[in-house]
A and B are shown apart, each in its own frame.
Chain A
Amino acid sequence: SAVISQKPSRDICQRGTSLTIQCQVDSQVTMMFWYRQQPGQSLTLIATANQGSEATYESGFVIDKFPISRPNLTFSTLTVSNMSPEDSSIYLCSVAVIAGEIYNEQFFGPGTRLTVL
C-alpha cells in the first residue's frame, strides 16, 4: 500500500486566480494520477503525472488549464489555472502499486476541496 498526503485540504479562491495542490507519497511510485470529483459523484481522471516527462492528459483536460509537475517519484503538483466557479470540485491524487502478477492497486490521497467564488 501507500500513504498519500495532499495540501491544502481545502481552499476558497477568487475567480481568475490559480491554486497549486501538492501530493506527497511515503514511498517511490512510478504511476501517479490526478482526478476530479464533484461532491457525491464519481471520479474523472484528469491526467497521469509522469516523472521526468510531460503529463498525459485525458480528453477534455489541457495542460494550460491544469499544469502538472512530477519532479521525483514521491511528489507531484497540480495547478488549477485561471479558475472559474465551474472548477469547484474535489481534486484527488492517487498512485498505483503492483499488487499481483497481472494487476496493480490504486490508493488515494484525502483530496483537496476547492471552492471558487
Chain B
Amino acid sequence: TQLLEQSPQFLSIQEGENLTVYCNSSSVFSSLQWYRQEPGEGPVLLVTVVTGGEVKKLKRLTFQFGDARKDSSLHITAAQPGDTGLYLCAGATGTYKYIFGTGTRLKVLA
C-alpha cells in the first residue's frame, strides 16, 4: 500500500513565524500537488510540482519537490491567520490516480 506521510500532523504558531510541512513517501510520483482546505469547503489546489528538485514560490509559500520525486516540502514565511487550514499533499501514481497525504492542520494565532 502506498502511503504519503505528512509531518507535523498539527501545528499551532504565532503570526509572523515561519514553518515547514513535510510530505514523505517511499514511492515515486510523476507529479505532486499541494492543497489547502478550510472548514466547510473542498480542498483548493495551491501548486503542482513535476520535476525532481523543482522549487515553486507562491507569495509567502515555497514548495519543493525532492530530487527523487518521493517527497516534498511546503515552507511558509511570516505566517498569517489567513494561512490557517488543513494542508494536504497528493502524489500522482498514474495518469489520473492520486494518493493523498495524511494532512497537516495549521493554526496561525493573531
Q: Which residue of B lies closest to A43 (CB)?
A: B100
Measured CA separation A103–B69 after assembly (Å):
14
Give the secondary structure class of A's interface: strand
Interchain CB contact under 8 A, B43 and A100 = no
A105-B45 CB under 8 A given contacts A31-B96, A41-B103, A100-B50: yes
Is A14 among interface residues, defined by CB-CB distance under 8 A?
Answer: no
Per the 8 Å Cβ criterion, residues 84-117 of A in contact with B are: 92, 94, 96, 99-100, 102-111, 113
Q: Which residue of B lies closest to A101 (CB)?
A: B50
Measured CA separation A25–B19 after assembly (Å):
35
Contacts of A31 in B (CB 8 A): 96
Neighbour of B30 across the interface among A42, A94, A102, A113, CB < 8 A:
A102
Contacts of A52 in B (CB 8 A): none
Neighbour of B50 across the interface among A41, A96, A102, A107, CB < 8 A:
A102
Interface centre among A44, A104, A107, A109 (most CB of B within 10 A): A104
A106-B90 CB under 8 A given contacts A45-B98, A96-B96, A99-B48: yes
Interchain CB contact under 8 A, B96 and A103 = no
Measured CA separation A63–B90 after assembly (Å):
25
Interface centre among B40, B43, B44, B102 (most CB of A within 10 A): B43
Q: Which residue of A lies closest to B102 (CB)?
A: A42
Neighbour of A110 across the interface among B31, B41, B92, CB < 8 A:
B41
Interchain CB contact under 8 A, B96 and A48 = yes
A42-B50 CB under 8 A given contacts A103-B92, A105-B45, A106-B33: no
- A interface, CB within 8 angstroms of B: 4, 31, 40-45, 48, 92, 94, 96, 99-100, 102-111, 113
A42-B88, A92-B42, A102-B30 provided; 14 other pairs, C-beta below 8 A? Answer: A40-B86, A40-B103, A40-B105, A42-B100, A42-B103, A43-B88, A43-B100, A45-B98, A48-B96, A103-B92, A106-B33, A110-B41, A111-B40, A111-B42
Can you list the 8 inter-chain pairs with the closest CB atoms, starting with the nearest? Answer: A108-B42, A103-B31, A43-B100, A42-B103, A31-B96, A42-B100, A96-B96, A108-B43
